Structure 1
Amino acid sequence: MSGTGEPLFVADGERDRIEVLHVEDDPAFATVARRFLERCDPSLEVTSETDPREALDRLEEESFDCVLCDYDMPGMNGIELLESLRESYPELPFILFTGKGSEEVASDAFSAGATDYFGKSSDASEYEVLAERIATVVEKYRTERQLERSEERYRRLVETAPVAIAVHRGDEIAFANRAAADFLGVDAPAELIGDDPLSYLDTDDRAVARERIARLLADEATMESLEERYVDADGNLKHGLVAGSAVEYGGERAVQVIVRDITEHRERQQELERYRQLVEAMGDGVYALDADGCFEMFNERMVELSGYSREELQGRYAGDVMTEAGLETVEAAIQSLLDGETDSVTVEVQAKRADGEVVPRELTLTLQPTEPGESFAGTVGVVHDITDRVKRERELEAQNERLEAFAEIVSHDLRNPLTVVEGHVELARELAEEGASGEELVPQLEAIADATDRMLSMTGDLLTLSRQGDTVGERHPVALAPLARDVWSTLDTGAATLETRDPGQVEADRTRLEQLLANLLENAVEHGSTDGQSSPDDPVETPADGADEGLTVTVVGTADGFAVTDDGPGVPQEDRDDVFERGYSTEQGTGVGLAIVRTVAEAHGWTVTVGESAAGGARFEFHTDG
């Protein structure tokens, strides 16, 4: 702030900011007005002051572009404040913003020098109009102030201007400043007087240039800026941006030419173009944010990663393309840069695309260079799409979890049947040594066979999980009723029966769905025959035929999927959270069958729950609509 009360003309990157002093004795209304105005126009920065006299003091200490003032206020009304303000700031935009709407008040306001008059309204949309009014009067004020300053400094500017300025009458130079002499490589401006102004152009065809000069001398036209190449007195090639206009000089019509030396700029531009091509060729998104966190520059890859169009991304707040947690991570990273802890920082964030999809990104941040006296100019970032990497990491993590589960099952569940085999083999040997008959050895051999079958079943399940994991192939509509009957026909179901009640069809990988149904139906047959659900610590006897007489397994359609139910003993409430875990089994099962069921369901994007059927048995319900 300058402390003069007059707005300063700032750098182009900050020119749009408008500082507004709102004088309003009602703090609640002032807060509401500030929020609405700043929301309607982000370039507005509103400062509220409830005391009119303190507002005048504040104008002495700080710089504002516009004053927005109420009328009825204690101690000093809006007109009185305006009269006091005009003594020091005759041109500063002043808008009387009041609910006391009358022609008399408006007339007094304009008589006292108010720029505009605006009535308070309960309609929030009116703030959009007010915000536009503020921006309009400030823009006009700034333009007028710039013109005034330009006129005051014009003469001195011409003499000391860093750009080349010359006046000629078409065929000879009549005036040149110091910068013109430097640009054309002579020791003093006087050496240029009398020279043909076109003799320094790097061209053999000067007819077009002379035609432009003739038009300027004939009327009041102004020549649009164009780039020309010059050769100075030492033979050096120079690039200049040229603008011309007709003037009166020494009582005669002449042409004033302003040439800005853009030789270095052109060289930098060529270098920047090479950098731009490199950035555009990168496979990562590259961007620059301003001090407010809005996109200033970005490459095409950044547009693709964001999902926004180039026009939508330009000027957009960076928080729009990140989740709340991602924004917090970035803000913490920027703070570490500002604290000098590092020159660059790399973080993983959850980005949010234009369509709302949340995707993982790796972000490398550095600070933009600052100008003298500037604390923060923004950031430069490189965005790397790590979707595939994160997917691979998750797959590896899931694979590791499966391997751990396999190791646990192999080390525990396979050990039990192996111990059974070893025990019965040893017993059979002892009986054989004692001269037992073959019939007497049958129980040991049957026990060995049962244990071997259990190990083979368990091994098959483990191979299923290890080979296919949680992936599915191409999906097609699959009718559940015939598929369930086909699967049922391959199982040893004993006296159990299968019913289907309009299960409909689902979009699925048929092979994986067969695996799901096979494991689920087999589980129902194996466990539906018990008098109560077993656990590894509570084994039960299984009838020889594999199921009780009358056990019925039903595949039925639901509102959002299908269910498999039975009329067996069901799953106890305390075990329902564990039945899908790998390694959870009774002495009858492998501990993997229901884990396969859940894996296949989740691979399809389904959810599966276990509960109680209407007959008191188990009910496994699949929600296929997400």
Structure 2
Amino acid sequence: MTETTEAIRILHVDDNPDISELTATFLEREDDRFAVETTATVSEGLSYLAETDIDCIVSDYNLPGENGIEFLSTVRESRPDLPFILFTGKGSEEVASEAISAGVTDYLQKESGTSQYAVLANRVTNAVEQSRSKRALEASQKRLSLFVEQSPLGVIEWNDNFDIARLNDAAEAILGYTEDELAGETWETIVSDSDASSVGDVVDELLNGSGGYHSINENIRKNGETIVCEWHNRIVTDENDDVVAIFSQFQDITERKNQQWELERDQKIIQAATSTIITVDEANTILSANPSVERTFGHDPDELVGKPLTVLMADEVAERHTAAFERYLETDQRTLDWNDTEFQGQHRDGTPIPLSVTFGEVTYEGDRYFVGVLRDITDRKERERKLEETNSLLSTLFDTLPVGVLAEDTSRNVLSINDQLLELFEMPGTPEDVIGSDCEQVATAASELFVDSEAFVERTTELVADQTPVVDEAWELQDGRTFTRNHHPIELPDGEGHLWVYHDVTDRMERERRLEALNGMTRELVTAESQEQVAEIGVSAARDILNLEASAIHLYDKERSELVPLAATDAVYDLIGDVPTFTGEDSIAWRVYQQGDPLALDDIHDDPDIYNPDTPVRSELYLPIGEVGILVAGSPTPEAFDQQDVVLGEILAGNIATALEQIERTEQVRVREQKLRAQNEQLEEFASVVSHDLRNPLNVATARLALLGEECDSDHIAAIERSHSRMNRLIDDLLALARHGNNLHETEPVDLGKLTRNCWQTVATAEATLDTDTTGEVVANRSRLQQLLENVFRNSVEHGGDSVTVTVGDLDGGFYVEDDGTGIPKSDRETVFDSGYSTAAGGSGFGLSIVEQIANAHDWDVTVTASPEGGARFEITGVEYTET
């Protein structure tokens, strides 16, 4: 990228005068080309922009009246190419995505410390230089078009087949043909027979991109006159080095052989080129270099003359080039492709430079010369690296998501798909087999799984056409499953695409169905008028709630000490005829009734009660109904009954109050979960405010202190820095308390010993040592457990001294963390977990409060006592360990 020495005028819009002044100060210190003007509102910024020519806008997001994105949209209406950088403390993926969609040049989140201003200065410089380069390129293209039309030389543009596409006026005058007469004709029309072979070689070289830039040959005018013309042929490529046109410039030199003017013209073009152009002879010695060599390599062009070309190469590259060049001179056969070859160059200061190089050979008066065009591709390589890194991250994310995901491009071809979606839709093969497939065909094939396949295809097509986002759209499958679908339109480099997310919610829907059935059954029990009616309701519930067609209720007859059948479904009578009465003689039903515990049998062949081996029933459920009796139910397939379904027995056995209490408890849980979600949203909003409104003035204070430290030497500066550090700790801990609370997401088996050692590496432990004596795996949320351990370690180091020894070991039903420091007095052990408690200078007072909060989220207990050495000992109990 061309570096500019011109002044760079910057408009900074931020409603915080401290931040505005601070930003201007640091930016102008970073680069003496910067001139920063500040405004506090969008309207002031627009007024200034209307009256003053500026090079770049730097804007905050949170502004009075309009936010930074709305300001950007207004600027883009009149200045679509003006660099605009969003420099904000409100950082989120949503804001970043909205800014990119609005056309922001760059996006930078405010941080603490002064290093962020160096980053901002670099972003501004890059944005301005790219903008100026783009304007220069557009001006250059316009000048090229004017040059072709107004050139005193003849100019012919050739198509891909090297047929004549157009001529300028000078070419028509030289050749005597009009453009219409020559359009579509080959070069043979204007070349004499004697030079046809040599010109054909030049044409072949041009088409192959290997040379043929200059030639002198005889041409035939329309009237048959033979003239001698000097030709200069050029291949024009775009930014991707693809050939977009071939031009030939020529002049009639029949009467004039002086080529000095043409040489000077070529030299001017080379001198003005942004790429480095170097000429070498057969000894690989540099004959000339244009000014761009100094910008790219740091060498003065005149100083390079007479030096070997290898001075611009890394050592290992120089050796390979020298050997290949010598072989070429000996054999005329290239061992390397000299067109757009990438190799490692070297700056004068030793810095490596990735380059793209094209070499061409020219023969002049019997001598061979080589012209190389060298382009610095550092930016392109970095973009490729970042793209590869992003693709790797996205691929990993797709593979680990617990839901099915498919992304399609603007042509409705599959961009990416994960194994989970293939499994949900029972599609064969791997994601690699599906990528590139037509998404309409994929949707049509998948639709066969759904109850309404035609509606599925039509709805999918409708969402794509309307670019309509949807969330949790439910679809029923023919096998009884239920999927929810999310659809999100996405922006891709070459257009709009679509992201689809599918989730199997069958289990969740079944739980909701059972709960609703229980509610309905309870309402029926309220109006029941007899035991027989209660029993009928019970067997219906067994069928509708437990999905068991064959079920019967037996009530206990106290006079005869028997379990007498009172009600049964029709399926029972179809299977066994009369329902038997159970006595105490070796009866499973009787033993279950006496013991009061439910029993599920997956195979009833050994000891059947109601159902015999000749029936299609393969499993039974014996569900006590308190002292009233027992429910016996059967299923045609072996299955494990959900122990939560025994609540049905509790409801049937008790009075109506018990049933209502159970339903009310379930409803209370639902309401409590709803309130918890609302509280979490409020806490997240609070955390955002804390992050933005507290960190902004703290960042200003930190930066001001850094400036003050450069101007004077005072003991107060170190004390203020410690206070700033403690304030940052307070903010971090407040955010941890607000954002996480008692929430706990997925848990997994965690190697406690390994995690302990990893946590120790992330805490500033000075000369402290760790002794870990645990090898078990605990069931926990890994990130929250890591935070718990880090906070306890930090507490030991802060209170126990730099040389404290911290030990982690197993307890019965948990683990402990202890140290050999000064310990915690008995009088303080009840309050150490209170928010704000701290006896260490610089401590936030929230570290142990967060420890207790994380333990509570796991349903663990945490207590503090003294270690054998008199230090602090934290015991965490109620912990579930995996079986080994």
| TM-score with structure 1 setting the length | 0.39
Q: Which has the higher contact order (CA 8 A, sep 6+)?
A: 1
| TM-score with structure 2 setting the length | 0.29
Larger Rg: 1
